[in-house]
Structure 1
Amino acid sequence: MLKKPLLLMTLLACIHFSCKKESAEIQGMVKDYTGLDGCGLVIVLDDGTNLEPAILPQNISLVADNRIAIKYRVLTDRVSNCMVGTIVQILALRYL
């Protein structure tokens, strides 16, 4: 009798804790790396991490040499010609 409720609680706990959490907003600077082979605009985070944005929200464009705050998700199914950073999808972006 207790097996079904226990199984259900275990399943719900697994689902809850396996959900992807949205990244916290993080700040950085948009840099123009077009001088490097295969590169374009790259986001350099305040901790020095380079991000290569592959997907941007609709009606949002990057402008070089501007500070931004972003939320992003790492894209593991993409490859890059630039190879200077992690390929990401930008979920939210605001200029500072």
Structure 2
Amino acid sequence: MKSFTGFFFLLFCICSCDFHETQTSRDCIYSAIVVDLTGMDGCGFVFQLDNGDYLEPVWRWGWCGTPPLPEGATEDPLWNFDYVDGQRVRLGFETAEEGGSICMVGEQVYVTCLEVIGEEAVSVRIE
């Protein structure tokens, strides 16, 4: 009887785990639109994935741009990226573990790959 109870306890523990897999990739496999949310408190430009989810890009090296720059900063995909509202892009990303968002429209991410694939597209706005 103990092994039977132990089996069900183990089964319960396994079934109660959250196996939700976050969408992440270092390769440019996700299509998105650049959306300008600068009119909302604490927001700037975000990426809206084709499934409607929003990604808030954060810079891996903090916010201070005074010299000397951290090693690798100029290789970051966002280093010289020109945000244009409605622009179509392909991107890869990793979830940013630290920090909180003032904007709170989507998940904060480190962009690992970024390619412009079109100049303008229709974007859905958050009102």
User: After TM superposition, is the score higher than 0.5?
Assistant: yes
The answer for unaligned runs of 5 or more in structure 1 is 1-21
Which structure shows the higher strand fraction? 1
Partner of 1:33: 37
Q: Percent identity?
A: 36
| Structure label with greater radius of gyration | 2
Partner of 1:13: none
- Aligned partners of 2:98 and 2:82: how far apart in 1? 23
Partner of 2:106: 85
Match runs of 1:1-96 below 5 Å: 23=25, 24=27, 25-55=29-59, 57=77, 58-96=79-117
Superposed CA RMSD in Å reads 1.5
Deviation at 1:30, TM superposition (A): 0.3
Structure showing greater relative contact order (alpha-carbon pairs closer than 8 Å, 6 or more residues apart): 2
Deviation at 1:50, TM superposition (A): 0.4
Deviation at 1:72, TM superposition (A): 0.5
Aligned residue-pair number: 75
Deviation at 1:91, TM superposition (A): 0.6
The answer for unaligned runs of 5 or more in structure 2 is 1-23, 60-75, 118-127
Q: TM-score, normalised by structure 1?
A: 0.71
Q: TM-score, normalised by structure 2?
A: 0.55
Partner of 2:121: none
